[in-house]
Amino acid sequence: MYLSIKNNSEKWIGFTLVALITLMSSCGSGGSAGQVTQPIVQTPQTPVVEEGPLILPTTTPFILADEISPQKAINVMQIGINLGNTLDAPNEGDWALAAQNNFLVAFKNAGFKHVRIPVTWDAHTLEEAPYTVDEAFMLRVEQIVDWALEQELYVILNAHHEGWLKGDYQQQKNKNRIDAIWLQVAARFKQKPAKLMFEMLNEPNGMTIDDVNQFNTRTLSIIRNENPNRLVVFSGNGFTPIDSLLATEIPDVQDQFLIGNFHSYDPWAFAGQCIQGWGTDDDKAQLREIYQQAFDWSVVNNIPVMVNEFGVAKYDFQQPENVCQQSERLAYLQHHVSLADEFGIAGTFWDDGGSFSSFDRKNGTWGAEKDILVRHNL
């Protein structure tokens, strides 16, 4: 998703690849006086090609007539739900049931105000230039986004499990590939309603904070090239705890359509591994401190905040014998929701159709988590 630039005023014209070609040529070798120099025969080398950065295309930006301020969005979005383990799987259906329109209807009817649609683009994008996204997959993503928008839900669309990028960010080819993905996504969805927002990258674990700062700046410029006033969500590095948001640079301090983001499954030993309990006064105080820090950051930077992943497992999927107590799970979710409401932070429950789920996708029914999650939603 990146190019090594930090000056947002720089303009790119044309959508081309700038290739730097290094030709390895033969060279002679000289000997000292009086010695006979033997010719050195070198095997011809294949030219080494290194890609330069992609250049932003010349385009006509689409100004959203129904623009929404980030603060209004956060106020209305309140608590939403993830359509997890679906388009973020290598192939839809690998990890959970494939998406159906009735899922989005159920989300709306349950009282959720927004849905996050995680998408992993890797398996559906060419690995060589021009890095075209498969049209059938793009159509499928668009179909599900449209289903959600038809329910008048706010929608978060992202780049999710892009391990090829996160594990080798410095390779220019990888930066160009993620650039190309976002160029295509931003252009494809540019005329969708303002309730659709883009989250630039989920949990960039393996990338440094400097990597993420560069990435956020570059990707924001790609999106702004198509939509100057669409909402964009940015996070820090790693698994995006609150600390990483606090350490991250704002990608453009002049941009009026940004939302800061963090994730919280704290403590993971409870919420993810089910190897400890939760519910003491200290447990609650630690969770409150996370929300307090997010609120304080928001006030200082005048940027609203959301936690677009929070939740608690029913069991550890890697060690299913470790089971979380249901009463503690519900109390934990209740505390998250209450804190989000108190501090004016939108939250998105991680529902993966499995251990972290509340919605039974096969039967169309809800667990006890649902009523807790939507209790403050208007």
Which residues are annotated as catalytic? 203, 309
Report the Cα 315 to chain-centroid distance in Å.
25
Token pair for 279: 């519910």
Peptide bond into 130 cis (omega under 30): yes
Tell me whether residue 132 is exposed, middle or buried, using C-beta atoms within 10 angstroms of its C-beta: 0 to 12, 13 to 18, 19 or more.
middle
Q: Considering only CA atoms, which of 5, 18, 7, 20 is closest in space to residue 54?
A: 18
Q: How far apart are CA 181 and CA 1, in angstroms?
A: 8
C-alpha 305/C-alpha 291 separation (Å) is 10
Q: Compute the distance between CA of residue 214 and CA of residue 111 in angstroms, rounded to an integer.
A: 37
Give the CA angle between residues 213, 248, 224 to the nearest 5°.
Answer: 50
Q: Find, among 202, 180, 207, the residue nearest to 126 by Cα.
A: 180
Alpha helices, DSSP H only, in the chain? 70-77, 101-110, 135-150, 163-166, 172-188, 209-224, 242-247, 268-271, 281-301, 326-343, 369-373
Longest dimension (CA), the chain: 94
Q: What is the DSSP letter of 310?
A: E
The answer to whether residues 99 and 87 touch, using CB atoms and an 8 Å cutoff, is: yes
Dihedral sign, CA of 307, 309, 314, 315? negative
